[in-house]
Structure 1
């Protein structure tokens, strides 16, 4: 039961925060630099695959060990490290091989991935602790 609550709470926090950031900051930033290269409608299947897989990865690598050991702050900092690695891989690779990729895109998304993953992991642990005990 705890794993289900942990997954759902982490996913809700992650999706809610990311939806705000994507619409208010990331889309305008990427549109400014990539323009017509962006799709007008997102591709839902890869988005769902990413979000499900990424949240599962947060749980396996970060949140479940922190919950099990009773160390929610561990989820925060280890989540931030995981986010930096994951988002950094994408952004730095894109910057390495794509002509129109900009350093501002790399910095904003890498920082966001770190913050988002850390906060989501920590919040999921805290919510699960509050609901399960």
Structure 2
């Protein structure tokens, strides 16, 4: 029963991560294309997609939490039994933890992307002012 739970949480984490990657693929491409403006932006996008899968799966499949179904935490406690209610909670927790970990990762990525965008935009405005002053002269 434990191995089935482990497989189900893994498969669910992969599926949720795939859906998030599918939803955010175009926005990531647009953001990196705007900030980097080079072919390396595709490599950064692939890295973020890879990181999304790693973070999503590792967040969704919580090995230390699942261990309580095969070993007791203390000498005085019993091993938890996998009932229908616990299955439901574990599936719900897997979905939520996967989304939560990916959301935190994307938040960090988008904060740095916003900072990079402001810097790039500042340089563009500075260069546009220099160009317009040369044209006036």
Normalised TM-score (structure 1): 0.45
Higher relative contact order, chain-length normalized (CA < 8 Å, sep 6+): 1
Which protein is richer in helix relative to its size?
Answer: 1
